[in-house]
Amino acid sequence: MASRRDFVAGGIALAASAVMPFEAAPALSAGSSRSLAKVHDLELVVVVDRALAAAAPFASEAAARGHHVLSFEDDAGALWMNELEPRLRAGPLAIAGLTGAAAAFCFETLTRSYRGHALARAEHASLTVASLAPLLAAATQAEAALPPFAHVARAPHTAPAFLTWLIETRN
């Protein structure tokens, strides 16, 4: 497990390997009032679970791009309570994350109170690196929100080691 010091130092060398494709957002249904993604117009906050080895390079990339990076380890509760929710109360945000499946589910559920919609989501196998750039590209090209994350009842052998995701809040 990576320590906080490891996380700050960043740059853990990992072997790159295949990433499961980003989930495709469904086409707009007739009469939908949704406009195209506003990700570029919103402040982007990046959230990582520093217990995951892939978190450090992802966070480094985000910081290099000038985004604010927040981290937690396993339990996202304190980060939500002390950092993220106060920011959301000040106005809409885009939130990108590199977390485990359960934390991704938690963030999607919590951000519902701020009209949060997942615009991009990708699953990654163990010992891979994940980049922010394709996540942002997928989110900005999204034409609609993704359906709620269906991590429930996944057999252990099909579980991803971690996910990258992007949620846009609108209230």
Q: Residues 62-71: contacts with CB within 8 Å, 24+ apart?
A: 62/96, 62/132, 65/132, 67/96, 67/132, 68/43, 68/44, 69/45, 70/45, 70/46, 71/7, 71/47
Number of residues that bind other proteins (CB under 8 A): 48
129 touches 16 (CB < 8 A): yes
- Establish if 115 lies at the interface with other proteins (CB under 8 A): yes
Which of 15, 27, 133, 152 binds other proteins (CB under 8 A)? It is: 152
Window 64-83: residues binding other proteins (CB under 8 A)? 74-78, 80-82
Q: Where are the beta strands (DSSP E) in 25-169?
A: 44-49, 68-72, 94-99, 117-124, 162-168
Pattern of binders to other proteins over 3-22, x per CB under 8 A? --------------------
Contacts to other proteins by CB under 8 A: 1, 29, 31-34, 49, 51-53, 74-78, 80-82, 85, 99-103, 105-106, 109-110, 112-113, 115-117, 126, 144-145, 147-148, 150-154, 156, 159, 161-162, 171
